[in-house]
Amino acid sequence: QSVLTQPPSASETPGQRVSISCSGSNSNVGSYQVFWYQQLSGTAPKLLIQNDNRRPSGVPDRFSGSRSGTSASLAISGLRSEDEADYYCSSWDDSLSAWVFGGGTKLTVL
């Protein structure tokens, strides 16, 4: 059981927009910034969004993040087949004094 809640799966057709949610509580998402990671099959996770909505250098602007209250979301527009991956959210939790992850969302590009 993950501290942050993500839908286990999402799917959309190429060119469309998909949003992945990440739900937490006041001790994590409600108080601390959210980070998003993309994990392509068989590879290490890669930072996609930091500090709620900042894209690291090299991440296309098709990827965007937002946070409101105790929830955050990752949006991917103009979906491409290479976006098919697992996506994870993470935040610091001050009641656990630990970083916590969502369970991951498997994105399928139909």
Partner 1 sequence: QVPPRQLGGGLLKPSETLSLTCAVDGGPFTTFHWGWIRQPPGKGLEWIGEVHQGGGEYNPSLQSRVTISADMSRKQFSLTMTSLTAADTAIYYCARGYGMTSWGQGTKVTVSS
Interface residues with partner 1 (CB under 8 A) are 2, 33, 35, 37, 44-47, 50-51, 56, 88, 90, 96-104
Give the nearest distance from C-beta 2 to partner 1 in angstroms: 7
Q: Which residues pair with 49 in a beta bridge?
A: 36
User: Based on CB atoms, which residue is closest to partner 1, 3 or 76?
Assistant: 3
Give the integer Cα–Cα distance in Å for 49 and 47: 6
Q: Which residues pair with 21 in a beta bridge?
A: 73
Give the nearest distance from C-beta 13 to partner 1 in angstroms: 26
For residue 6, the SS3 value is coil
User: Based on CB atoms, which residue is closest to partner 1, 10 or 37?
Assistant: 37
Cβ–Cβ contacts within 10 Å for residue 49, how many? 26
User: Based on CB atoms, which residue is closest to partner 1, 44 or 61?
Assistant: 44
Give the nearest distance from C-beta 16 to partner 1 in angstroms: 26
Q: What is the secondary structure of 8-48 as a DSSP string? A: SEEEE-TT--EEEEEE--TTTTTTS-EEEEEE-TTS--EEE
User: Based on CB atoms, which residue is closest to partner 1, 50 or 70?
Assistant: 50
The two structure tokens encoding residue 96: 């656990």
Give the nearest distance from C-beta 19 to partner 1 in angstroms: 20
